[in-house]
């Protein structure tokens, strides 16, 4: 009935997250909103106290009796922030460890950062020649962009992933430190030379998701976009046959 438009790309003057496509990103947004709720309460409470004390300092008994030499108020302003920090810390640690869990992925995609492009490998799939699917992904120059393509985000080759599939991304670097980041998927992980890092994703809807290298890696750091196309399983199998 309704044509829902989802935001999966950066927008000018954006102040909020892109629309989530994985459970990890949904958890990140929920945690962010919960923390902002507590921050707003703290801001209102502290602002009210400061305004009240400044406005009615000479007539306010709080300024003399409790603020200067009050054991009760000191206990309150020590315990209350500690409780708030615990309320914030527990959900954040739970989400952090859940995002780090990579258990029995259905497929693995390797991403290697280089100056200044990405190389991908589908090591689970082998063609008739016994070779794995490998390709390099470069940013499309601005003068070669077609209608509908995004400046500094579209690439000549996309990472194709099936939806509703537990995918593991194994990342590394061949030269300097890069960062593999796709906001809509809730993925941001460093690519370190000589080290393998991993992160998982369960993409829940079809679409095209964009990311960038999020670690300063040289003069062409801005020319390392990531483009992921999430398709249905039959479409993914068809794409595999064409490789």
Say what the pLDDT of residue 78 is: 86
Cβ proximity of 201 and 170 under 8 Å: no
The radius of gyration computed from the CA coordinates of the chain, to the nearest angstrom, equals 24
Tell me the pLDDT tens digit for each residue of 143-200.
888 888 888 899 988 999 999 899 999 999 998 999 999 999 999 999 999 999 999 9
**Nearest CA-CA partner of 153 in 228, 64, 84, 47:** 228
Element holding 189 (H helix, E strand): strand 187-191
> pLDDT, tens digit, for every residue of 206-241?
989 999 999 998 899 999 999 999 999 999 999 888
User: DSSP H helical segments within the chain, as ranges?
Assistant: 23-55, 61, 71-100, 233-242
**Is residue 91 over pLDDT 90?**
no
* CA gap 228, 154 in Å, rounded: 10
């Amino acid at each position: 009935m309704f044509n829902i438009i989802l935001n999966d790309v950066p927008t000018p003057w954006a102040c909020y997250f892109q629309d989530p496509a994985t459970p990890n990103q949904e958890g990140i947004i929920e945690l962010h909103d919960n923390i902002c709720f507590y921050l707003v309460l703290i801001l209102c409470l502290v602002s009210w106290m400061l305004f009240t004390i400044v406005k009615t300092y000479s007539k306010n008994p709080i300024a003399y009796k409790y603020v200067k030499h009050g054991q009760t108020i000191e206990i309150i302003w020590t315990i209350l922030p500690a409780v708030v920090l615990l309320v914030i810390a527990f959900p954040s640690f739970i989400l952090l460890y859940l995002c780090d869990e990579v258990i029995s992925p259905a497929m693995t995609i390797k991403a290697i950062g280089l100056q200044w492009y990405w190389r991908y490998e589908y090591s689970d799939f082998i063609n008739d020649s016994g070779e794995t699917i490998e390709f390099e992904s470069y940013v499309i120059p601005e003068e070669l962009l077609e209608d509908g393509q995004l400046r500094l985000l579209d690439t000549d080759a996309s990472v194709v992933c099936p939806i509703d599939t537990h995918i593991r991304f194994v990342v590394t670097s061949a030269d300097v430190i890069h960062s593999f980041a796709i906001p809509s998927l809730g993925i941001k992980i460093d690519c370190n030379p000589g080290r393998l890092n991993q992160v998982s994703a369960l993409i829940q809807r079809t679409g095209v998701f964009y990311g960038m290298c999020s670690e300063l890696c040289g003069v062409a750091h801005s020319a390392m976009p990531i483009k992921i196309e999430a398709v249905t399983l039959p479409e993914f199998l068809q794409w595999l046959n064409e490789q």
